[in-house]
Structure 1
């Protein structure tokens, strides 16, 4: 057979192996149904020609593409990367591939990605958001495949959800700082203007502010500052802005460990002792928080558990042959307070000889 100057087809494989195209299809889809000798000839022809099966064309009959679309806010955040990695580990043994897009926290970009991905007929969609444009919501509702919203626990998910309550994370963070005896308490989060929005971070800030009010404390130092996504410099700049408003602030919650680290570095530049002069609490349990000095207290989330739970849920849904629509599932992976070295009882409580439990 002369060398091909075009993309090889299944018919080319069948001619080279001396079998029918149906036999080639069976070898690729269910090799145990074909004799070892025939299977070897077909696989040798596949390798010689460099043939790659057309999954989309094959899905016309099977209705499966073995592709799961995943839409994340960013690929630079290690927590989202860990979630994607864990999701891939669950899907790979079943021969599912992850098609990843990222939105940079823009709703219009999520909508654009859905318009690009859904025509490729993914078998499922995983999206790290529970806030969508009206059009995007309609596309997800009408996709005809399982949809899993992750990294949140929405009251009314599109279909299924795997995550936790960002609002309750904020409340728990405030309760912890209050329990340490702090009364002038603030929070550092991203701005709420512009095309990019971190709605999960905003929910954490809302929960934090609500807990302060419930305790009879002011929420005037819950500061929304800067752009999304937050960077280390966000912590430095937002903390500087906080000190202009409340130079005697006693404790801070940062919407991300990234911001918390920036604030910690600014404290060191200004000679503010953490936690003696200021308690600092982050979110996300990033690895650098365990390495910095002092080690960062944080609200911990198991990013890998989110990916694993979403993958296992999809495996159940995609291999359910009953034909019945699956009831929506909401899986809460929870969160936890991780106390390290940047939070401590207030100076007033220490002077009175009281310690936190």
Structure 2
């Protein structure tokens, strides 16, 4: 049997020869087109496509000390509330010539630190975290290597570098205040076991001034876990009036279990979620939830990375995007309104 012919990638020399131009002209046409004519650009691009040439970004990065890569770390790619952030982050970076690469931490701080080390070894031009970097050694390492870092979806007075987020404690406090304004005293919490869900629970309990029945489920949330959470909460207090859920996915499951038990929402049991998922307004009943502008978080984070990479001074390294409660049918008999 004949040995297969080894694959040989097309080079810039192949492009130049096919286009009938010098090597430097071919390089300029592909990397700095302002220096050559439009006719030459078209000729070189056609030659590159004909020979199957793919630029070696690593080689270019070694010369410019820029990789044109930005690393994004998310707890779980499947979590719907993070998708607008990832999408806008990708769009803004792409427009500036950067490529986003994603890593999944799985809500595991040890895995997060290992992933940080892997990302640092790739020398990206920036790293965007969903949440805060909790490991002291990882924080110190990131600051030492000097890679621009943006932490998101949380708030801290001492970020690793830059931050775009909001206070989860204030979210929990606002929801508790909303429940109290409705006159509900027998309330419960269905929450994931993640750090941010825990902060919202702390804020809720502080505003309530007492402990309340709580069902804690593994993150990431799901409809099935929401059904399980309501079962547990009703065992603790069959007379619950309202439940705050740490995600809309959990709330979706709570609503399904309530309907299966013949409970009317909101007459027998009011339900509030978090995240304003794309299905929240279309559920039956529509779901009261907390809206955070995830797309704005992604845009601001991307721009901070781009500005820092280009040496632009950062006037506001900590950005609080805030949040708002969107009241819908699951907690109100009135017409939908935002508050």
TM-score normalised by the chain length of structure 1? 0.86
Deviates more, 1:304-313 or 1:228-237: 304-313
Distance 1:277 1:12, change over 3 A: same
Cα distance between partner residues in 1 of 2:242 and 2:154: 26
Distance 2:229 2:283 in 1: 20
1:203-252 superposed Cα distances (whole Å, 9 cap, x missing partner): 11111111111xxxx3131x142211111111111111111111112211
Q: Which residue of 1 aligns with 2:197?
A: 201
Aligned partner of residue 67 in structure 2, secondary structure: coil
In 1: Cα distance, 2:263 partner to 2:317 partner:
47
Q: Which runs of 5+ in 1 are unaligned?
A: 192-197, 346-356
**What's the secondary structure of 1:283's corresponding residue?**
coil
The within-5 A match list for 1:160-179 is 160-179=162-181
Give yes or no for contact 1:188–1:225 (8 Å, CA) kept in 2.
yes
The aligned residue for residue 32 of structure 1 is: 34
Task: State the 1:316 CA deviation.
Answer: 2.5
Q: 2:145 is matched with which residue: 127, 140, 143?
A: 143
Say which SS state the counterpart of residue 311 (structure 1) adopts.
helix
Q: Which residue of 1 aligns with 2:108?
A: 106
Give the Cα separation in 2 of the matches to 1:37 and 1:298.
Answer: 55
SS in 2 for 1:225: strand
* TM-aligned CA deviation for residue 155 of structure 1: 2.6
- Is 1:96 the counterpart of 2:98? The answer is yes
Task: Give the C-alpha shift of residue 276 in structure 1.
Answer: 1.0
3-state SS, counterpart of residue 98 of structure 1: strand
Confirm or deny: 8 A CA contact 2:217 2:225 kept in the other structure. yes
TM norm structure 2: 0.90
Residue 350 of structure 1 corresponds to none
Deviation at 1:18, TM superposition (A): 4.6
| Contact map agreement 2:30 2:41 (CA 8 A) in 1 | no
1:163-220 deviation line (CA, Å, top 9, x unaligned): 11111100000000011011112111124xxxxxx1111111111111111xxxx313
- On the 8 A contact 1:297/1:340 being kept in 2, the answer is yes
How far did 1:6 drift?
0.9
Distance between the aligned counterparts of 1:120 and 1:190, measured in 2?
Answer: 32
Separation in structure 1 between the aligned mates of residue 302 and residue 153 of structure 2, nearest angstrom:
14
1:157 Cα deviation from its structure 2 partner: 0.7
Change (3 A) 1:144 1:18: farther
- Determine the C-alpha separation between the residues in 2 that align with 1:169 and 1:226: 19
Partner of 1:195: none
Distance across 2 between alignment mates of 1:240 and 1:10? 65
SS across alignment from 1:68: strand
Cα separation, 1, equivalents of 2:175 and 2:190: 12
| SS of structure 2 residue aligned to 1:148 | strand
Tell me the distance in 1 between the aligned counterparts of 2:38 and 2:233.
72
8 Å CA contact 1:186–1:219 kept in 2: the answer is no
Give me the whole-angstrom Cα distance separating, in 2, the residues matched to 1:229 and 1:52.
39
Q: How many Å separate the matches in 2 of 1:211 and 1:237?
A: 26
Q: Which moved more, 1:224-233 or 1:151-160?
A: 224-233
Aligned partner (choices 244, 247, 251) of residue 238 of structure 2: 247
Quick check: 1:180–1:344 contact (8 Å CA) kept in 2?
A: no
| Residue 338 (structure 1) aligns with | 326
Unmatched tracts of structure 2, length 5 or more: 334-338
Q: Does 1:278 align with 2:269?
A: yes
CA distance in 2, matches of 1:171, 1:144: 36
Residue 190 of structure 2: aligned partner: 188
